[in-house]
Structure 1
Amino acid sequence: MEELDVSSSLRELLTMVFKRKRTILVIFLAVASAAIAYWIVLPITYTAKSRIMVKFGREFVARSEVGTETFRLSPQSIMATEIELLKGKELLARTLNDIGPRTLYPHLAKSASEASALKAATAMAAGKIEAKNVPGTNMIEVSFTHPNREGAVMTVNKLVEHFVDRHVDVFGGKSTAFLEQQTKDYEGKLSTSEGRLEGFRQQNRVFSIEEQRTALITQRGTLESSVMAAQNQVKELQEKLGFLKSPRWSVETPGDVRTQVLTLEQRERDLLERYNEQSRAVQNVRRELESARRTARNVTEEVRRAEISRVEGELTALRVRLSGLRQQLGQTERELQTLDSKLKEFQELRREVTAHESSYRTYLQKLEEARISDDMDRQKMVAISVVEGAQAGVTPKVTKIKTMIIPLGLVGGLAAGIVVALLLEFASSALVTPRAAERRVGLPVMVAVAKK
């Protein structure tokens, strides 16, 4: 029974379709014609492509303006930055301004001004620019889609050309002027500090303060040793002089005088054995003996006086020398104290010169590096290379929409015709099949007569 109902319903649908076949045909032709017309008028676009290789060169190494600290940007951040630069509106506007906005978009000819035309062209072209990293490489593929083949090629090539300039602007050194000013400033500071140091040296007669201080310390040690030695000599001479003046000092009597005294003493003893003390002979001998002894004492005293005079002379000379040594030692001490008092100021001046010289050399080296980098930027010796430029032989870009327009139009026209036919039948009060009549009146159909 269910199979009979399904067969009957299908028959009714087919009956309705064939009944309204003209309507379906008209709608089908109308929709299909519209689809074909749209397919014909849909513009053909061209996509020009170019490939750029990023070589991760010097531009991507960040250097401190002072010192030697450096670090390199990661490849991922470099590629992302370059892609954003390619897709930037400023770069696109510069490219379109070079080409001419009305060259790519002639319908902008009636724009109010060049600025507004450029702005409108930039807005339209922004959605047609694509830049992406080629997987597994350090290359970027940039493309532009436009109805005009030459316009697409020219836009991509100009965009890449301006991209290189933009890359130089963004990654190029902007510190040359700053480094030149800093180098000049520190050169002046170095000259000033060197002048102050030289003036200090001339004023205080200080040229190599460490060597001078070492020499003075050595000289002080030598003088102290000399003073101590002279003091010991003075003490020895003073003791010797005291001994010479004391009764304990004695000197050997000359031989002839001693012999004469001994001879006379022997004669005195011989005469006393024969004569008494009052005899003339004994008295004469005693007078001679006393004269000899006096002569011996005079000789000894002369020797003492001569020795005392000699020692006193040496002592006087030594005292004069000791006084001179003490004066020299005092002068050396004063010079050393003066030098020590100037040492702090000298060291501060020298540290200032050293610091300014170090800063000057650092900035001078950085300036040379910046100038070399600027020269390379002017020559466009950058880490960007155009591997493949856009070519004139660009094939048309057939979009998925255009490939599907005609099939969709045919299928849609047929479906629309059938739907409209069914709607018309359902809205009509006529009964086109016996089954429909039976459902309407509730009675079985006895006979069906075809309409002629």
Structure 2
Amino acid sequence: MSNLPSQPTRLNQESGFFSLRDILTILFKHQWEIIAIFVFCTMLSYIVPMKMTPIYRAESSLMVKIGREHMYNAEVGDHSPKMAFDLQAVVEPEIKILTSRDLIKKVVETIGVKSLYPEIFEMDKLTISPLEVALTYFPGNLSVDRPGKSNVIVVGFEHQNPQVAAQVVNLLGDFLKEKHLAIFSNPQTSFLEEQVQTLRKNLEQSETALQEFKREHGISSILDQRNLLFDQRQTIDSRSKANEDQVQGLSSKINSLKRQLHDIPQYIPISTETESEHPTINATRNELLALRRKEQQLLGKYQESSRMVTDVREEIALIQTLINKQEAQAKEQIKTVRNPVYQDIQLELLSSESELTSLKTKQGVFLGQIVEIDSHISRLNQLEKQFDGLQREVNKDKENLKIYVEKLEMANISTEMDKKQLANVSVIQSASPPISPIKPKKSLILYFGIAFGLLSGVAWAFVSEFFKGGYTRPEQLSLEQGIPVLASINYKK
């Protein structure tokens, strides 16, 4: 239908013209325009990424472990307190080292500014050196992340050349180890060697002083020698007490023998004129002799104050009194001879006195030995303080030397580990040249171009229809103007 001069009507929702039929009518009316816009946007989203320079990202994973660098070693003594390690405090310094200017500068110098950023040399009128410019570009391409609260560090670098990107990441890992060892290494080997030599000389001097003291006073070990002297004194004291008991026993025996000699007549009668009248005298004397022997036997077993010895002596005294009475009654001339019992007792008395003299001499020797041993013990007690002081000095020098020898061994091991670059940073996965770039994302741009072209075409159709005068369908004219449409004629150019 031809355009009628009237006020332009648009898709008015209040008038009820915005229907599916209206939409389809507009879309088919402007289909070629929609297709043209769609094709243009699609081709543009395909061609533009092809012209963009691809950017590749290489990544490497590093694991940071709690190592010897984080262990506290006391400078003096061997006391090393236990410490609780904060994993973040261990990982954060490594991240700082990775992003430090010195480490980045070393990587840039190793690879070369021209290989990393050739566009720098195309710039005109540079006020600073290309290296400084590269150092300002580098952090923007570098990423160092710590996933969560783990001890893993992910190092990434973006570059146009995938080989260069991988090389940068791997060099960062290698230089991190070197920088880490340079920071955390504690070069004390020479100092510890000097200390070990000094302590070894101190030990030799203290040992020499101790040996001279031992040689001067004739001792090897205060404790051992004193224990040996105590054992000797105990043995001699036991012998002395046993010898003293023998002396007391012999003394009692000698006293008993002397009493027997006093009580037994030196001579005995062999015949009397009244012998037949006194037959009990000889029997009484024999009984007295038996009691004397019994007394002697008891004295060898018991003390003089023993009840059994006392009873026997009372019987002896009673019989002796009886014999004296019997002899007093005998008034006849008695013929006598030397009493053999008296002679035996006298011989036994002489033997006992000789043995007693020997035991007393031995007792004197024992007492002299005890006095000498006590003198040695007293002398050792006086020397003990000085000896212990020298021994403590030797033990202290030995302990100090042992501590510093262990520290020197640990320092040598640490130095060897540093030479072999054995740090607490390990490479989990080294970087390899990436195959596909991360920028531009061609498929994403293409999908976006297709969607944008389609939406742009549709939007263009509706906008064109909105600003274009006239009516699309007869019903619009009839409803808006309030007059019936008698006929409609298709318009063709």
Pick the TM interval, shorter chain.
0.5 to 0.7
1:95 maps to which residue?
107
**Matched residue SS, 1:422:** helix
Distance apart, 1:151 and its partner CA? 1.9
Distance apart, 1:122 and its partner CA? 3.8
2:236 maps to which residue?
223
2:374 maps to which residue?
333
- Pairing partner for 1:210 from 218, 223, 229: 223
Whether the 8 Å contact between 2:196 and 2:404 is mirrored in structure 1 is yes
Tell me how far apart the structure 2 counterparts of residues 440 and 376 of structure 1 sit (CA, whole Å).
Answer: 93
- Pairing partner for 1:152 from 165, 170, 188: 165
Tell me how far apart the structure 2 counterparts of residues 426 and 235 of structure 1 sit (CA, whole Å).
Answer: 151
Tell me how far apart the structure 2 counterparts of residues 28 and 230 of structure 1 sit (CA, whole Å).
Answer: 135
Q: Please show how residues 64-143 of structure 1 align to structure 2 within 5 Å.
A: 66=78, 88-90=98-100, 94-100=106-112, 103-107=115-119, 110=126, 112=128, 116-117=132-133, 119-127=135-143
Whether the 8 Å contact between 2:142 and 2:157 is mirrored in structure 1 is no
- Pairing partner for 2:48 from 30, 38, 46: 38
**Matched residue SS, 1:207:** coil
Distance apart, 1:442 and its partner CA? 2.6
Whether the 8 Å contact between 2:199 and 2:397 is mirrored in structure 1 is yes
Whether the 8 Å contact between 2:17 and 2:476 is mirrored in structure 1 is no
Tell me how far apart the structure 1 counterparts of residues 127 and 391 of structure 2 sit (CA, whole Å).
Answer: 71
- Pairing partner for 1:357 from 377, 390, 398: 398
> RMSD across aligned C-alpha pairs, in angstroms?
5.9
Check if 1:419 corresponds to 2:435. no
**Matched residue SS, 1:145:** strand
Whether the 8 Å contact between 1:189 and 1:356 is mirrored in structure 2 is yes
Whether the 8 Å contact between 2:52 and 2:440 is mirrored in structure 1 is no
Kindly tell me: are residues 201 and 442 of structure 1, through their superposed partners in 2, closer, same or farther at Cα, counting changes over 3 Å? farther
Deviations 1:386-445 (A, max 9, x none): 7986667x5342657322324433442342243134224324444454333334323233
1:378 maps to which residue?
419
Deviations 1:228-274 (A, max 9, x none): 35545655676677678879359998xxxx99x989x99xxxxxxxx
- Pairing partner for 2:175 from 143, 162, 168: 162
Tell me how far apart the structure 2 counterparts of residues 406 and 418 of structure 1 sit (CA, whole Å).
Answer: 18
Kindly tell me: are residues 354 and 5 of structure 1, through their superposed partners in 2, closer, same or farther at Cα, counting changes over 3 Å? closer
Kindly tell me: are residues 149 and 111 of structure 1, through their superposed partners in 2, closer, same or farther at Cα, counting changes over 3 Å? farther
Tell me how far apart the structure 1 counterparts of residues 141 and 170 of structure 2 sit (CA, whole Å).
Answer: 15
Deviations 1:324-357 (A, max 9, x none): 5423312211322343455576557646644653
The one-letter amino acid paired with 1:155 is V
The one-letter amino acid paired with 2:98 is G
TM-score of the superposed pair, with normalisation by structure 1: 0.61
Q: Which runs of 5+ in 1 are unaligned?
A: 134-138, 267-292
Q: Please show how residues 1-80 of structure 1 align to structure 2 within 5 Å.
A: 6=19, 8-14=21-27, 17=30, 31=41, 35-36=45-46, 38-48=48-58, 66=78
Kindly tell me: are residues 45 and 86 of structure 1, through their superposed partners in 2, closer, same or farther at Cα, counting changes over 3 Å? farther
The one-letter amino acid paired with 2:116 is L
The one-letter amino acid paired with 2:476 is A
**Matched residue SS, 1:248:** helix
Whether the 8 Å contact between 1:86 and 1:163 is mirrored in structure 2 is no
Whether the 8 Å contact between 2:147 and 2:154 is mirrored in structure 1 is yes
Q: Please show how residues 310-321 of structure 1 align to structure 2 within 5 Å.
A: none
Whether the 8 Å contact between 1:16 and 1:432 is mirrored in structure 2 is no
Whether the 8 Å contact between 2:181 and 2:418 is mirrored in structure 1 is yes
Tell me how far apart the structure 2 counterparts of residues 184 and 118 of structure 1 sit (CA, whole Å).
Answer: 52
Distance apart, 1:217 and its partner CA? 1.3
Tell me how far apart the structure 2 counterparts of residues 28 and 236 of structure 1 sit (CA, whole Å).
Answer: 142
Tell me how far apart the structure 1 counterparts of residues 192 and 398 of structure 2 sit (CA, whole Å).
Answer: 15
Kindly tell me: are residues 329 and 17 of structure 1, through their superposed partners in 2, closer, same or farther at Cα, counting changes over 3 Å? same
Whether the 8 Å contact between 2:142 and 2:158 is mirrored in structure 1 is no
**Matched residue SS, 2:128:** coil
1:272 maps to which residue?
none
1:283 maps to which residue?
none
Whether the 8 Å contact between 2:42 and 2:450 is mirrored in structure 1 is yes
Tell me how far apart the structure 2 counterparts of residues 59 and 338 of structure 1 sit (CA, whole Å).
Answer: 53
The one-letter amino acid paired with 1:210 is L
Distance apart, 1:147 and its partner CA? 0.4
Kindly tell me: are residues 423 and 174 of structure 1, through their superposed partners in 2, closer, same or farther at Cα, counting changes over 3 Å? farther
2:286 maps to which residue?
none
Tell me how far apart the structure 1 counterparts of residues 412 and 480 of structure 2 sit (CA, whole Å).
Answer: 99
Kindly tell me: are residues 346 and 262 of structure 1, through their superposed partners in 2, closer, same or farther at Cα, counting changes over 3 Å? same
Whether the 8 Å contact between 1:51 and 1:387 is mirrored in structure 2 is yes
> May I ask how many residue pairs the two structures share in their alignment?
401
Deviations 1:102-131 (A, max 9, x none): 64134556473678546424412323x679
Kindly tell me: are residues 365 and 41 of structure 1, through their superposed partners in 2, closer, same or farther at Cα, counting changes over 3 Å? same
Q: Which runs of 5+ in 2 are unaligned?
A: 1-15, 274-335
Whether the 8 Å contact between 1:64 and 1:70 is mirrored in structure 2 is no
Distance apart, 1:216 and its partner CA? 0.8
**Matched residue SS, 1:397:** coil
Distance apart, 1:152 and its partner CA? 1.9
Whether the 8 Å contact between 2:55 and 2:161 is mirrored in structure 1 is yes
Deviations 1:176-227 (A, max 9, x none): 5786577567646645654564455356543122331232112212332444
Distance apart, 1:9 and its partner CA? 1.1
**Matched residue SS, 2:441:** helix
2:409 maps to which residue?
368
**Percent identity of equivalent pairs:** 24
Deviations 1:22-77 (A, max 9, x none): 6x67766775565456324421123446688x899997997988599999x9xxx8
Whether the 8 Å contact between 1:87 and 1:131 is mirrored in structure 2 is no
TM-score of the superposed pair, with normalisation by structure 2: 0.57
